[in-house]
Amino acid sequence: MASSCAKPHLIISLFVGCLLFASPARPAVSPSAAVNSTTLPVKHSRISAHLKRVNKPAVKTIESPDGDLIDCVPSHLQPAFDHPKLRDHKPSDPPERPKGYSLSSTVDASFQAWSISGESCPEGTVPIRRTTREDMLRASSVQRFGRKPAARRLRRDSTSTGHEHAVGYIIGDQYYGAKASLSVWAPRVTSASEFSLSQIWVISGSFGNDLNTIEAGWQVSPQLYGDNRPRFFTYWTSDAYQETGCYNLLCSGFVQTNNRIAIGAAISPTSALNGGQFDIDLLVWKDPKHGHWWLELGSGLLVGYWPSFLFSHLAEHANMVQFGGEIVNAQTSGFHTSTQMGSGHFAGEGFRKASYFRNLQLVDWDNSLIPLSNLRLLADHPNCYSIQGGVNAVWGNYFYYGGPGRNVRCP
């Protein structure tokens, strides 16, 4: 897993000026205070109810050095089984690995901060990062907590308002999975409403309201996690981020089968500028026997699966696969954000400076891993974040990507 070369929000400002006159015996109460006196208890009541639903009873709790609480939850009580179609569901047997699969890195689950001390969750449980009241108060609403903003405009080249990308993608066939190694960095995110991520997208649909995606990688998201650490994450949607899906295990859907990986937990170590590079291997593929989409981290660590019934188009196959980086540019100061993508350095700076994806592969209809033959590269704001690719005998299909955001050419 580690390389040997020692990676809508609608902001409404409301200015209300009012002058209330009242007798000394009855102090004036502003409209905003009156509203807050009723809405705040309702919001806190909703938060308490949501926390009760999402935080399941644990047989053990581990305190991570970074402050996270990791609950060891009995597998059958995990959030996935709140889904109506998963009640009384028996977890699927491990899938057949794709042909051409090989152990390309050493399995080491201690790359996450919570497990560095040697603590672990017992067999028969899954480690789940505990959601706190503070996590939920940072969200735009209780209803949208743990979910991406609903997409109002989607285009096949991946651009949408406020979201900027540097990606490699392949389109035009039927795809049954993807694999890559991606370097892990800790990019600077300058606004709480922004994020920076590096991931694999497995996509199907018309890029309208029926868009299906499966996503996995690492991200820095102050709003979701309350800090600037890179964290292993997953996401899914079957309706273009509107009503279905969520990050990690923050809703029912993804079935976790591993007791060593906590989705949403911080990754450590990370890559260093001009120093050691740390990358993780990710494989997402469709089990040919049961049709579920499985996620593997490293070589051999099956994290879990997205049941096929969660999706419409992805119940059959993907029609696009995408690799790369994404940031949110909130332009809170009227300028382009200084939030970094990848390492914060442009693709042209190369190894030990720029973030990378290497050994890009696809899974075909025959459950075989195959190299990419027509990877397309796209940087929708190349003066802010760039991408540059190639092919060689060691890294196969690869690319460098990223950038600093705001600079003299990206005002």
Task: Give the bridge partners for 60, in sequence order.
Answer: 72
Query: What burial class does residue 409 get, using C-beta atoms within 10 Å of its C-beta: 0-12 exposed, 13-18 middle, 19+ buried?
Result: exposed
Quote the Cα angle for 68-342-347, to 5°: 170
**Pairing verdict, β 125-129 and 69-74:** antiparallel
Give the helix/strand (H/E) hosting 36: helix 31-54
Active-site residue, from 194, 215, 243, 316: 215
Q: What is the largest CA-CA distance in the chain?
A: 84
3-class secondary-structure state, position 406: coil
CB 173, CB 319: distance < 8 Å: yes
Active-site residue, from 164, 194, 296, 326: 326
The verdict on whether 326 is a catalytic residue reads yes
Listed residue (330, 352, 347) closest to 339, CA to CA: 330
Q: Measured between alpha carbons, how far is 206 from 211 in angstroms, rounded to an integer?
A: 6
The verdict on whether 349 is a catalytic residue reads no
The strand ranges marked E within 44-143 are 60-63, 69-74, 125-129
CB 203, CB 318: distance < 8 Å: yes
**Number of residues that make up the chain:** 411
Q: Which two tokens stand for residue 90?
A: 């028996």
Q: Measured between alpha carbons, how far is 197 from 132 in angstroms, rounded to an integer?
A: 22
3-class secondary-structure state, position 42: helix
Q: Which two tokens stand for residue 172?
A: 């035009």
How many beta carbons lie within 10 A of that of residue 219, not counting itself?
A: 24
Listed residue (362, 220, 169, 198) closest to 279, CA to CA: 198
Q: Which two tokens stand for residue 291?
A: 């049709």
Q: Measured between alpha carbons, how far is 144 from 132 in angstroms, rounded to an integer?
A: 15
CB 309, CB 236: distance < 8 Å: no
Q: Measured between alpha carbons, how far is 76 from 56 in angstroms, rounded to an integer?
A: 10
The values of phi and psi at residue 387, to 5°, are: -150, 145
Positions annotated as catalytic residues are: 215, 326
